[in-house]
Structure 1
Amino acid sequence: MISKSFTRLWQGVAVFSLFTLVTMTEAAQQNVPASGPSKHVTNQPAAAVTSLTPAGLILPAVKSVIDCSALTKTDLTALGGEGSHIISAKETQTNGSTFCQVDGVLSPAVGFRVMLPTTRWIQRYMQIGCGGLCGSIRTEVGAAAGCTPLNANGFVIGATDMGHGMDDDAFGNSAQKRVDFAYRAQHLTALVSKQLIAAYYGRGPSYSYFNGCSDGGREALMEAQRYPDDFNGIIAGAPAMNLQVQNAIFNAWLVLANTGAEGKPVILSSRLPLIHNAVLAQCDAEDGQVDGLISDPQSCHFDPQVLSCKAGSKDTQNCLSEAEITALRKIYEGPKDPQSGQKLIVGGPMPGSELAWGASFIPATADAPNFSKTIALNTLQYLAYVKNPSKTLTLNDVQFNKVGLSELAKLHPLYDATNPDLKAFYEASGKLILWHGWADGHISPANTLAYHQALADTMGGATRDKFERLYLFPGMHHCSGGEGPSQMDLISPMMNWVEQGIAPDVIISYQAAQKATTRFGQPGGAPGKGAPQAVPPRSQGITLETLAQGAASRPVYPYPFYAVYSGKGDVNSAASYKRKRLKTVPTQYPWLGQDFFKPYQFIE
């Protein structure tokens, strides 16, 4: 873990531009994409290749041309169908600024909210994705710590509940609501938001962005794949893109792998620090620095047997029983088809993610709520299959084999957002940033890595690198928090890329003041019923991240590069790190469902 003796790298709110990076290192990096050979990439410390500058183009602020209340008369029938209407349009205060808050519904039940600044709109629109199975309208903005134009309340912000108001999957009993959740709600919200923007300001947005994590990351990719003209720039964090497998197989397996013969969990969350420390003991120093973070988990091959209690040992607090060892192996390895031996998931939790497991599938007590169990059961009972099974179905009924995966594949083209054919998005000049925490215990980064590779396989690596970047954050949990720096601004680099053609390179990440600093990408509901434990309470209005003053910082480079300590300078300062290529950079992610990551026809 990074030292608590934080040093201040920047004063106040900072936005990192890459203009200086390009000009200072042009000779070293000319015409070399982020995924290119390491020998062509600068080895300078991060501070030498960053500068402070506003994000994107400077566009004149625009005022409203009509009263907020006049938007209640907006006719949405042509867009959403009969019954679509504005519920209310009223001015409200949030973050010290006045917004016109418009709430409405698109038939049959797609709730949406659009927040329009009354006087200082800078001609940009941002749509926010939701987490879990959605069911509520969320306007928490993440991956934006220190983004100046966003903090100045200059964006129009839009969001949707994805067509239902429940914390579980019971909405899956409705064929239309399945479609709304899969893709329709976000697309219609983009259309209605732009319609309201044009009415309120007398003109549409110059640039539109989508920003989501978890299911919001899936929604982000769905927009790029199905509706390539909706957004100029899309930021997809920890995307639940492989939704069918993620919820119906991955989550179910994690719960069952940790369930003993008596139906009780084998490993409790109190055991996770012991396991995590053993992983660190084996792999932490592989990046040249012992700091509590694993920078290259794919090169870490942890053997749980090192924690096995010796025969006759009385000190069982510092070792694991055979039952715990067995459960731990199953968790890391994931399920396999018994006939072929092929994996049924892209990959399991990464070594180093153990402290995040308590928020998903390792409970504190035998009877504590279990998020993975809840979301797996709801998906299996209401969403995963063409025809819903009996409500008496349990996780023990899941078929961890080729037949079970084949049944889930039937609705893969509806819910999943793993189609790597982004030709239309690329030709529309769209830009995509993928990001994931290496220590995400809920959605394995292996999925995001597989999609990044699938883009290259489908479109060619050179083409992919013209419009896509992937960032992986050591020690970060699901969408936020964790042992490593987990606050960053991806909005400003995206604006520079879309609006000025300056491709992003190094990102500066900061240590958050507390482990869970935002609800961005997090599901609603109580812990175990749609929400992991240790998530901050839900906020009203637009919620922005606050950048901790004097926080420790690290650079994060586009995959397959990572930051290593230069050997001199403050270890808590990004200026003391340089770029290095990861030791393990797979070009294949073999599993039984790998066709899920090849081009396919969507189900409408």
Structure 2
Amino acid sequence: MSARAGSSGAPRAFVSLCVSVLVALRVPLHVRVWPVLLLAADVVSAGAAVAATGPTLATQCTQFAGFTLPPGIIGLPTGGARIDTAEMIAATARNNQNGDYCRITGSIKPLKPGTPGIRFDVNLPRRWNGRALQVGGGGYNGVVVSGTGVMPFWPNRAPLAQGYATFGDDSGHVGNSALAVFGLDDEAVVNFGYAHLKKTHDVALALIEHAYGRPPEHTYFAGGSTGGREGYTVMQRFPDDYDGVIANSPALNFSGVRLLGVKVGQTEYATPGGFVPPPLLERVYQRTLEVCDRLDGAADGIVSDVGACRKHEADVIDSLRCPPGKAGIANDSCLSGAQLATLDVLRDGLSLPWPLAWNVHRYRGYNVFQGTLFTGMLGLAHDDAHGTPPTIVANGYLFSQGDGYARYFIARDPAFDSLKFDVLHPGRYQRQVVALSRTIGAMNPDLSRYIARGGKLITLQGLADEVISPNQTIAYHDALVDRFGSGTVDSFMRLYMVPGFQHGSGAFIPSTDLLGALDNWVTHDVAPETLTATDIAAATNGRSRPLCRYPMFPRYGGKGNVNLASSFVCVGS
């Protein structure tokens, strides 16, 4: 598992003696600490804890300010790191519900002048539970993850308040817009893809060990969307650093979803009649509910039996298709052939005639006709004319994000027109797309090292996700089963596909303690099975459902309160 403190008192005494000598000589703290740690690393056994020198956390906290950390303590090339601020946050401070803790901010220097540094936050609770939690970002990151808030899907109590030392970063650039201008900088792209995770981890673990006199007993990672991709990334690239990972709604095939976004934009804006206005998207959603809501035994606004619903797909599409001569009428309740073709692109996903990294040829499509709503902030376009550049609000999440990726990451030309980009035959851009899919993607199925070390994984995702295809996540899980066998996958992974849940919104928004389940699995070898989730959607707040392990889903038993999880059982399709 993660590096742990040795039990020998000799290494601790040696380090303590070294620090005491330097203290007696009045060597400044930011100069004395890291050479001592590096010297100790040469003479004590690997993983030995560095002993605390006596001062309280509050005293140590203020002394962290001005620390400089040499590149040698970071496992990837950097220019070192610097602590900018360090202050104790009192339990009585306004809006603080995390108890007393030391808040540290700093930055990791890049190798190349002009590349942004990686800004990070580290939080050290006075009452430490011996564990560390790295928190992932979202979208294109660009905002420092403070690590002080509650976990997604568990709003009751923040990990920091539970005693976890927490940390996060901005992935090495500023700003989380669809433009993603940092894609023009090679080092910034590598940082965003994977390097920021290792760099921040190593700095944070060094600070934690110095503050408490020992490394964490267990180190976890938790994130969703981009943070979910980051969770799979750390298992694939840095398996020795983590004991458990929560990786929700993971953007595993990052290049795939961005290329599909470009294709969606082309069918909406470069194909005559391809734009699907929000009222028609709502009509599609309501029609799928009419046909599929009751297939799980309960009329609750949730399509749970997606497999059974898919068998009705052809009939649903036929019922939505406009009869001859009626297509194109404003605010009509039917879809033209061109509009259905746009939805087909979403449903079918993307199949490439050439491979991305790890021999990946596909991005799986969405459950368009199985209860997924594509209106709202993260849905399809709201405007029938695309902007330059397109925006999420007007032109939809998938296209705006795909357009930025094509401009700044692939073509590296702000004037590039993604509507004219041949996704299937990218020509001179193909090499760059493949390289990006390796740098940013997390589709490598080789988790053998992480599995061998006993690492654990929990992934939760909505079956109605409109941003990250749930079928892509399922496909990766199934690829793991093909590679390692179901028994091995069951020994380290839990996949929960949630009916009705979208990408943070939906007919059912689950709340459950995934971190508690992960920690119990890692520390006590109690593997989670069926969990119970409380709905935090505004309209249905408080009802509950079982979270069933994939491929099962909740079916109403026919009696009992339909708003209680106990009235449902987990069944297979």
Could you tell me the TM-score, scaled by structure 1's length?
Answer: 0.74
What's the counterpart of residue 73 of structure 2?
A: 79
8 Å CA contact 1:136–1:160 kept in 2: the answer is: yes
Deviation (angstroms), 1:430:
0.6
Q: Is the 8 A contact 1:309 1:316 kept in 2?
A: no
**Stretch moving more, 70-79 or 226-235:** 70-79
Structure 1 window deviating more from structure 2 (312-321 vs 201-210): it is 312-321
Provide the residue aligned with 2:381 in structure 1: 363
> SS of the counterpart of 2:339?
helix
Can you list the C-alpha shifts for 1:391-420, whole angstroms capped at 9, x where unaligned? 322222322326569542233222111111
Matches within 5 A, 1:412-431: 412-431=437-456
Q: Which amino acid aligns with 2:119?
A: G
**Structure 1: which amino acid aligns with 2:261?**
N
Aligned position for 2:365 = 348
Structure 1 residue 489: Cα displacement:
1.8
Is 2:285 aligned against 1:288?
A: no
Asked whether 1:255 is paired with 2:265, we answer: yes
In the alignment, which of 78, 92, 97 is matched to residue 99 of structure 2? 97
Q: Which amino acid aligns with 2:166?
A: I
The offset of 1:424, in angstroms, is 0.8
* Structure 2 residue 321 is the aligned partner of structure 1 residue 319: no
Give the whole-Å Cα distance in 1 for the aligned partners of 2:187 and 2:160. Answer: 37
**Aligned mates of 1:299, 1:345 — CA distance in 2:** 24
- Identify unmatched segments of 5+ residues in structure 1: 1-61, 516-547, 584-604
Task: For 2:73, give the aligned amino acid.
Answer: L
Match of 1:196 among 198, 203, 207: 207
Classify 1:95/1:225 alpha carbon distance in 2 versus 1 (closer, same or farther; 3 Å): same
Residue pair 2:260, 2:363 contacting (<8 A) in 1 also = no
Number of equivalences: 479
Say whether 1:224 aligns with 2:248: no
Give yes or no for the alignment of 1:455 onto 2:480. yes
Report deviation, 1:331: 2.8
Over 3 Å counting, the alpha-carbon distance change for 1:330 and 1:564 in structure 2 is: same
Q: What secondary structure sits across from 1:91 in the alignment?
A: strand
1:332 aligns with 2:347: yes
Superposed, 1:136-175 pairs within 5 Å as: 136-138=143-145, 139=147, 140-145=149-154, 150=159, 152-167=161-176, 168-175=179-186
* In 2: Cα distance, 1:354 partner to 1:75 partner: 49
Deviation string for 1:35-67 (max 9, x for gaps)?
Answer: xxxxxxxxxxxxxxxxxxxxxxxxxxx973743
Deviation string for 1:156-181 (max 9, x for gaps)? 11101001113332222222112111
Q: Secondary structure at the match of 2:538?
A: coil
Number of the residue aligned with 2:18: none
Q: Which residue of 2 aligns with 1:30?
A: none
Q: Does 1:306 align with 2:315?
A: no
Q: Which amino acid in structure 1 is aligned with residue 406 of structure 2?
A: L
Larger radius of gyration: 2
Aligned to 1:274: 283
1:65-101 deviations in Å (ceiling 9; x for gaps)? 7431111243311335435211111123422523211
CA contact (8 A) 2:232 2:252 kept: yes
CA apart distance, 1:152: 3.6
Structure 2 unmatched ranges of 5 or more: 1-54, 111-116, 386-393
| 2:172 is aligned with 1:132 | no
Q: Name the Cα RMSD after superposition.
A: 2.8
Compared with structure 1, are the counterparts of its residues 324 and 484 closer, same or farther at alpha carbon in structure 2 (3 Å cutoff)?
A: same
Distance 1:207 1:233 in 2: 8
In structure 2, what residue type is equivalent to 1:362?
L
CA shift in 2, pair 1:398/1:142, >3 Å: farther
Preserved CA contact (<8 Å) 1:268 1:365: yes
Residue 375 (structure 2) pairs with residue 382 (structure 1): no
> For the residues of structure 2 that align with 1:505 and 1:361, how far apart are their CA atoms?
32
Name the SS of the counterpart of 1:114 in structure 2: strand
Q: Give me the whole-angstrom Cα distance separating, in 1, the residues matched to 2:237 and 2:518.
A: 21
Aligned to 1:503: 527
CA distance in 1, matches of 2:500, 2:245: 24
Give the aligned residue type for 2:320.
L
Q: Distance in 2 between matches of 1:114 and 1:432?
A: 23
Q: Percent identity over the alignment? A: 29
Give the drift of 1:449.
0.6
- Equivalent of residue 511 in structure 2, options 459, 483, 487: 487
Residue in 2 that maps onto 1:446:
471
- Say if 1:308 and 1:319, in contact at 8 Å, map to a contact too: yes
